[in-house]
């Protein structure tokens, strides 16, 4: 990057945008400098810009391109890998003001939204049209569609219905040169040229700034789901139950794991009255029509019992099911209430290796002397070990980082990946380098160089070009 004068850049941004779009007050800027990833480094920004249209985003990028100033796109800042963290001398571009639902098209089963639309807001809006947008990360009440696209977010329903990439039909993006391009299509099928939409999904703002998203929708589910709950004395037995359900060819619509420590945190925060006697519980939900739903629920229940569940039951009570799945969504914020630093993992394993990986996590926590809370999208092998340490305890932090590295190494050894849905950002770059190897990493960097030759879009993230 060339040397720039921050005041000159800020002045050009102020001249290029309508009033109140550019923030330079240090206290205000500070609140936009990082996401929710504990320990991920971040730098000081020249300014924060809050554009309200694609033209304004393009104007910002053009100013930054002229000065070779980094642009760091940001959604709601709910990321867990440092992907939205500011770099020194950058402009943070937040899409929080670009929050309009532009179209809901029932006959074509699609919606067009600006990137700042909150996931749950979109889901509620399309529900009014008896439609459904399946991707539902635990951060759905706060995270934005743009951020979900940038990280290819998953969620509780992805085990059966897929992740964000499976629902993105088209994108409008601003390139590193400030050009506005439309990628993709509105049709159900289309293979005209390279899949540039697929390339942009999961690229974490390093290849373009997303300014509009067209997503496909599904018909609203009308059957009341059946929920199966199993309680287990050990995490290893819980993993074995998951493996048995998968091996039996069953496909729950949601399949989640919550360990005892996480349950206690939710109870302490929300007085939820969740059982805390077991090491972990499994939640599986089937949304098939009756009588197939009853048959699938019975089969899941049988696998839980065969794996050694101390108790297992099924329910058709929607309120009871909603409370249990809401507890799963509340785990991360509940753990935050404990007042400790939290380092979050996101490894994903072949599903038959889940039980073995859970055992490895238990062993790593004991060996490193680190408290690890574990939740998981069990049905697709996506584990979220959360390492907790007291703030300011550098020795505990060092042990937690060691546990983090051990978990990554174990996941790769078993044929897994370092990130299932949180993205690479900053925290996962060493693990990604191990996973991909020099040839694939060089190919990725070639793509970055072709689309962003001056490396101004979220530099230092994902592929590590600073």
Tens of pLDDT, residue by residue over 264-283, are 999 999 888 888 889 999 99
As a whole number, mean pLDDT of residues 25-49 equals 95
- Given a cut of 60, whether residue 1 has pLDDT beyond it is no
Tell me the C-alpha distance between 422 and 80, whole Å.
6
Between residues 184 and 466, which one has the greater pLDDT? 184
- Strand partners of residue 25: none
Q: What is the structure's pLDDT at 454?
A: 96
Q: Which CATH architecture has domain 223-337?
A: 2-Layer Sandwich (3.30)
- Residue 363 makes CB contacts below 8 A (sequence gap 6+) with none
Average pLDDT, the chain: 94
Reported as a single tens digit per residue, the pLDDT across 99-109 is 999 999 999 99
Q: Residue 27 class from Cβ within 10 Å (0-12 exposed, 13-18 middle, 19+ buried)?
A: exposed
Q: How confident is the model at residue 290 (pLDDT cuts 50, 70, 90)?
A: very high
Tell me the C-alpha distance between 95 and 396, whole Å.
36
Domain boundaries defined on the chain: 6-94, 101-219, 223-337
Question: Which CATH code for domain 101-219?
Answer: 3.30.465.10
- Given a cut of 70, whether residue 201 has pLDDT beyond it is yes
Between residues 455 and 138, which one has the greater pLDDT? 455
Tell me the C-alpha distance between 100 and 113, whole Å.
6
As a whole number, mean pLDDT of residues 290-299 equals 95
Q: Are 221 and 131 in contact (CB under 8 A)?
A: no
As a whole number, mean pLDDT of residues 35-58 equals 96
- Residue 429 makes CB contacts below 8 A (sequence gap 6+) with 461, 462, 464
Q: What is the structure's pLDDT at 38?
A: 81
- Residue 381 makes CB contacts below 8 A (sequence gap 6+) with 348, 349, 350, 351, 353, 354, 416, 420
As a whole number, mean pLDDT of residues 145-168 equals 95
As a whole number, mean pLDDT of residues 74-90 equals 96
Q: Count the residues in the chain.
A: 466
Tell me the C-alpha distance between 77 and 73, whole Å.
10
Q: How confident is the model at residue 2 (pLDDT cuts 50, 70, 90)?
A: very low
Tokens of 59: 């104007």
Question: How much of the chain exceeds pLDDT 70, in percent?
Answer: 99
CATH topology of domain 6-94: 3.30.43
- Given a cut of 50, whether residue 37 has pLDDT beyond it is yes
Q: What is the structure's pLDDT at 274?
A: 82
Tell me the C-alpha distance between 343 and 401, whole Å.
8
pTM score, two decimals?
A: 0.93
| Cβ-based neighbour number of residue 187 at 10 Å | 11
Q: Residue 2 class from Cβ within 10 Å (0-12 exposed, 13-18 middle, 19+ buried)?
A: exposed
């Amino acid at each position: 990057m060339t040397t720039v004068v921050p005041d000159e850049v800020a002045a050009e941004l102020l001249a290029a945008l309508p009033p109140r779009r550019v923030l330079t007050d240090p206290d205000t800027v500070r609140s936009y400098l990082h996401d929710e990833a504990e320990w991920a480094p971040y730098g000081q920004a020249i300014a924060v810009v809050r554009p309200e249209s694609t033209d304004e985003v393009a104007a910002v990028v053009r100013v930054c391109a002229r000065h070779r100033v980094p642009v760091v796109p940001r959604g709601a800042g709910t990321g867990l890998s440092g992907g939205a963290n500011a770099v020194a001398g950058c402009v943070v571009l937040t899409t929080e003001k670009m929050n309009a639902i532009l179209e809901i098209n029932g006959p074509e089963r699609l919606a067009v939204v600006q990137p700042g639309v909150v996931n749950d807001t979109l889901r509620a809006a399309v529900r009014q049209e008896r439609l459904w947008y399946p991707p539902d990360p635990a951060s759905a009440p706060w995270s934005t569609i743009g951020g979900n696209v940038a990280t290819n977010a998953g969620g509780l329903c992805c085990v059966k219905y897929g992740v964000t990439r499976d629902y993105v039909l088209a994108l409008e993006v601003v390139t590193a040169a400030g050009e506005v391009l439309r990628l993709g299509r509105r049709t159900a099928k289309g293979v005209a040229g390279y899949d540039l939409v697929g390339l942009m999904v999961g690229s974490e703002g390093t290849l373009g700034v997303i300014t509009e998203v067209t997503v496909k929708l599904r018909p609203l589910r009308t059957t009341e789901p059946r929920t199966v709950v199993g309680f287990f004395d050990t995490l290893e037995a819980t993993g074995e139950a998951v493996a048995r359900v998968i091996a039996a060819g069953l496909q729950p619509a949601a399949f989640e794991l919550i360990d005892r420590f996480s349950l206690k945190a939710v109870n302490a925060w929300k007085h939820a009255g969740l059982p805390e006697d077991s090491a972990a519980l499994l939640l599986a939900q089937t949304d098939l029509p009756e009588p197939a739903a009853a048959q699938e629920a019975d089969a899941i229940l049988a696998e839980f019992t065969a794996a050694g569940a101390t108790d297992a039951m099924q329910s058709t009570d929607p309120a009871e099911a909603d409370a249990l799945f809401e507890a799963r969504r509340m785990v991360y914020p509940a753990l935050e209430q404990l007042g400790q630093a939290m380092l979050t993992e996101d490894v994903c394993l072949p599903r038959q290796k889940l039980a073995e990986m859970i055992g490895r996590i238990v062993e790593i926590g004991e060996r490193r002397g680190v408290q690890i809370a574990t939740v998981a999208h069990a049905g697709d092998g996506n584990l979220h070990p959360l390492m907790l340490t007291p703030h300011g305890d550098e020795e505990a932090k060092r042990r937690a980082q060691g546990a983090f590295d051990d978990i990554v190494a174990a996941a790769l050894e078993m044929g897994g990946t370092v990130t299932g849905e949180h993205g690479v950002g900053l925290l996962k770059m060493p693990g990604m380098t191990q996973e991909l190897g020099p040839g694939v990493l060089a190919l990725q960097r070639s793509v970055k160089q072709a689309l962003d030759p001056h490396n101004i879009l979220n530099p230092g993230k994902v592929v590590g070009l600073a």
